[in-house]
Amino acid sequence: MSETSPFLIGEAMTGGYGKGADILHSCTIAVERGEIAVIVGPNGAGKSTAMKAVFGMLSLREGRVVLDGDDITALSPQDRVVRGMGFVPQTSNIFTSMTVEENLEMGAYIRRDDFRDTMEQVYTLFPILKDKRRQAAGELSGGQRQQVAVGRALMTKPKVLMLDEPTAGVSPIVMDELFDRIIEVSRTGIPILMVEQNARQALEIADKGFVLVQGRNAHTGTGKELLANADVRRSFLGG
């Protein structure tokens, strides 16, 4: 349990879906305590796959996942939730037929204590959700849905939050706001590991960045380093 090792790390992960070909090839992603780590890369690079692998949603052929010093490679996703991991997947990340409030309640499913405080915190973070709390989540706009999704994941009071493209499909203004909210969450001490399509903006707020290409680590460094790297700029940031 050394203090210098990352809080959450998927280390040298190799694996794919079911019996199919490997999609990840010795891929490593990690996040340190109190930091924001961002994963960028072209479509189909395996970013979502890497996130799922860290969350135990596909079985690894090689490599391991370590959370706070414990090897959790063999744990099921539910057990990882209990261990304090929260995950917002890229797609179908809300319960569309249930109300906003029920979505948050389901987020808190594993908690047996009173979670009204946490719900209030989520409502403070995303005030629009409070107005819409009796509405079916499926009836919300794309940006509002993303807020529900993040709110749901926050309900467990996770020790680490994993977000797969939280700003997908939202307008630039809402995107800026979401980034602000994410920074706010990270300030409360929750490490955040996220995949982002808006690479430049994401790397600006990132402490650590990972560039994946075809299931492999292409570049790794601090956000600033990657933004300054000519190679990365040319291939991923449009010059």
Partner 1 sequence: MDFLNAIVAFLNFVIVPATAYGAQLALGALGVTLIYGILRFSNFAHGDTMAFGTMITILATWGLQSLGVTAGPLPTALIALPLGIAATAALAVGTDKLVYRFYRQSKAKPVIFVIASIGVMFVMNGIVRFVIGVGDQNFADGARFLISARDFREMTGLDEGLAIRTTQAITVAVAVLAVVALFWFLNKTRTGKSMRAFSDNEDLALLSGINPERVVFITWLIVARTAGIIDKLQTLHLFQLLMISPAIVGERPTPGAILKFLIAYSEIAVTYAFRRWVRLYRPRAEPRMLQLLSTEYKFAHQLYDPSDRASVQTHRDHERKIGMNLTLDRKAAVLFALVAVLYIGTGFVQSWNTALSILNMGLISAIMALGVNIQWGYAGLFNVGVMGFTALGGLAAVLVASDPVGGLGDQAAGDPCALMGAPPFAPPLHFGAR
Interface residues with partner 1 (CB under 8 A) are: 55, 57, 77-78, 81-82, 87, 89, 92-98, 102, 105-107, 109-110, 152, 156
Task: List the one residue from 23, 27, 88, 182 that touches ligand ATP (CB under 6 A).
Answer: 23
If binding means CB under 6 A, how many residues of this protein chain bind ligand ATP? 12
Residue 195: how many other CB atoms lie within 10 Å: 24
- The yes or no reply on residue 77 touching ligand ATP (CB under 6 A) is no
DSSP string, 216-232: EEEEEEEHHHHHH-HHH
Tell me if 45 contacts ligand ATP by CB under 6 A: yes
Nearer to ligand ATP, 52 or 152 (CB): 52
User: Out of Mg ion, ligand ATP, partner 1, none, which partner does residue 74 contact, by CB within 5 to 8 A per kind?
Assistant: none
- Minimum distance between the CB of residue 48 and Mg ion, rounded to whole angstroms? 3
Q: 47, 80, 132, 152: which one contacts ligand ATP (CB under 6 A)?
A: 47
Are 217 and 188 in contact, with CB atoms under 8 Å apart?
no
Smallest distance, Mg ion to C-beta of residue 3, A:
32
Q: How far is the CB of 111 from ligand ATP (least distance, A)?
A: 30
Closest CA to 118 of 87, 156, 160: 156
Q: Name which of partner 1, ligand ATP, Mg ion, none residue 17 binds, using a CB cut-off of 5 to 8 Å depending on partner kind.
A: ligand ATP
Look up residue 166 and give its amino acid: P
Q: Name the token pair of 116.
A: 């009204």
**181: exposed, middle or buried (C-beta count within 10 Å: 0-12, 13-18, 19+)?**
middle
Rg of the Cα atoms in the chain: 17
CA distances from 41 to 12, 113, 220, 229 (A): 17, 40, 12, 14
Note the residues at the interface with ligand ATP (CB under 6 A): 17, 20, 23, 41, 43-49, 90
